[in-house]
């Protein structure tokens, strides 16, 4: 009996030590593995359908989806990020007078509304944007400026994505086989976790990207300078529950009015209302309301906290961590409360 206890202690110590070493070995690639896992979760339903169409050729289907993700997701996101970074640098070079006028209109509008409730409130957008540019330069600029680094990261991302797609089910089964719970309980836990993660990812990422894309297109068509930069910032501001879209659209309308473009301002206002009802309500309800009830403030806090803690990728990782926590709550309900 004492020998078994000693063996268990020695095994536990060795396992913990090796786990720590593995963590430090994989630490430089954790964000790549996390993104690859997220992509595999998002593409898994399509992967299962294509396997039936291609008569079970898993490697071929995984290769096809890797190419799809590269061409239609990764390259456009990298291109958009590069363009936003370049426009941010152009803005702070102060070569365009209209940009300064736009900032002044936005600053006066926000201060007028905020000071109605908090008289001491004062927003200094140039200082705020300077800090934001420094953040962008530190977290994104160095990445985008290194071509070899980008190729290296994308290659390993796609490689991990391929194996997660093709062999993810086997990996998951190996973990389930070590579970002390019953088979039916394991199935409920996996299904609950999968639904939760998928709903939060799609509800946060997809709705956010759709909203941002529509705002960028509207800004570009209606003649707002540096549409990618301001549209991206407006898309981020629009994440604020309930009033986010209006806070993003109203300054643009005021800028157009101050520029004499009354018709464009009316169009922008109409687009903002449609955007609020169609994207913020219908799409968010579709993605979140079907499988999980998450209060919008918690989504906002998870995004902001994720960005502060993880950097730009926190926009994705924050909601993922929130979804994992909510999954643990559901797991507790399945494994503990159902037995009572």
Between 18-27, 35-44, 298-307, the lowest mean confidence (pLDDT) is in: 298-307
Whether pLDDT at 140 is above 80? no
pLDDT at 97: 47
The whole-angstrom separation of Cα 1 and Cα 89 is 69
User: Per-residue pLDDT tens for 285-304?
Assistant: 666 555 555 666 777 788 77
Higher pLDDT, 138 or 168: 168
| Least confident segment among 219-223, 224-228, 288-292, 299-303 | 288-292
Q: Which residues have a Cβ under 8 Å from the Cβ of 53 and sit 6 or more positions away?
A: none
- In contact, 296 and 241? CB cutoff 8 Å: yes
pLDDT score at 21: 92
Residue 165: what pLDDT? Answer: 92
> Where in the chain are the domains?
1-97+137-178, 181-340
Residue pair 85/146 in contact by the 8 Å Cβ criterion: no
pLDDT at 249 over 90: no
Residues contacting residue 300 through CB under 8 Å, at least 6 positions apart: 239, 240, 241
Give the whole-number percent of the chain exceeding pLDDT 90.
9
337 vs 53, which has greater pLDDT? 53
Contact 123, 114 (CB under 8 A): yes
pTM over 0.85: no
- Specify the pLDDT at position 95: 43
Task: Give yes or no for residue 96 having a pLDDT over 50.
Answer: no
Angle at 175 between CA 205 and CA 319, to 5 degrees: 20
Rg (CA), the chain: 24
At residue 325, the pLDDT reads 81
Distance CA 42, CA 168 (A): 13
Cα 300 from Cα 99, distance rounded (Å): 28
Q: What is the pLDDT of residue 89?
A: 66
The 3-state secondary structure of the chain reads CHHHHHHHHHHHHHHHHHHHHHHHHHHHHHHHHHHHHHHHHHHHHHHHHHHHHCCCCHHHHHHHHHHHHHHHHHHHHHHHHHHHHHHHHHHHCCCCHHHHHHHHHHHHHHHHHHHHHCCCCCCCHHHHHHHHHHHHHHHHHHHHHCHHHHHHHHHHHHHHHHHHHHHHHHHHHHHHHCCCCCHHHHHHHHHHHHHHHHHHHHHHHHHHHHHHHHHHHHHHHCCCCCHHHHHHHHHHHCCCCCCHHHHHHHHHHHHHHHCCCHHHHHHHHHHHHHHHHHHHHHHHHHHHHCCCCCCHHHHHHHHHHHHHHHCCCHHHHHHHHHHHHHHHHHHHHHHCHHHC
- Return the pLDDT at 295: 66
Tens digit of each residue's pLDDT (9 = 90 or more) over 119-137:
766 666 666 666 665 655 5
Backbone angles phi, psi at 313, to 5 degrees: -70, -10
**Separation of alpha carbons 2 and 219, rounded Å:** 73
């Amino acid at each position: 009996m004492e020998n078994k206890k000693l063996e268990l202690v020695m095994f536990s110590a060795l396992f913990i030590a090796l786990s720590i070493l593995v963590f430090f070995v994989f630490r430089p690639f954790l964000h790549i593995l996390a993104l690859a896992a997220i992509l595999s979760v998002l593409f898994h339903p399509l992967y299962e359908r294509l396997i039936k169409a291609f008569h079970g050729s898993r490697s071929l289907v995984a290769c096809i989806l890797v190419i799809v993700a590269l061409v239609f997701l990764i390259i456009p996101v990298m291109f958009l990020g590069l363009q936003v970074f370049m426009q941010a640098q152009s803005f702070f070079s102060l070569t365009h007078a209209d940009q300064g006028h736009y900032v002044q209109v936005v600053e006066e509008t926000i201060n007028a509304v905020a000071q109605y409730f908090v008289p001491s409130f004062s927003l200094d957008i140039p200082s705020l944007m300077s800090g934001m540019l420094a953040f962008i330069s530190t977290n994104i600029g160095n990445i985008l400026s290194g071509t070899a680094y980008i190729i290296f990261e994308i290659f390993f991302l796609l490689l991990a994505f391929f194996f997660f797609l093709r062999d993810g089910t086997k990996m998951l089964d190996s973990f389930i086989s070590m579970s002390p719970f019953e088979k039916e309980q394991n199935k409920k836990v996996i299904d609950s976790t999968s639904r939760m993660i998928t709903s939060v990812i799609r509800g946060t990422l997809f709705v956010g990207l759709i909203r941002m894309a529509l705002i960028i297109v509207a800004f570009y068509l209606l003649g707002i300078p540096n549409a990618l930069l301001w549209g991206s910032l407006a898309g981020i501001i629009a994440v604020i529950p309930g009033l986010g879209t209006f806070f993003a659209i109203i300054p643009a309308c005021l800028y157009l009015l101050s520029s004499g473009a009354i018709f464009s301002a009316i169009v922008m206002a109409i687009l903002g209302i449609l955007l609020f009802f169609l994207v913020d309500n219908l799409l968010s309800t579709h993605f979140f309301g079907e499988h999980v009830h998450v209060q919008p403030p918690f989504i906002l806090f998870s995004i902001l906290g994720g960005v502060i803690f993880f950097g730009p990728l926190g926009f994705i990782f924050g909601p993922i961590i929130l979804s994992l926590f909510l999954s643990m709550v559901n797991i507790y309900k399945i494994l503990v409360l159902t037995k009572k």
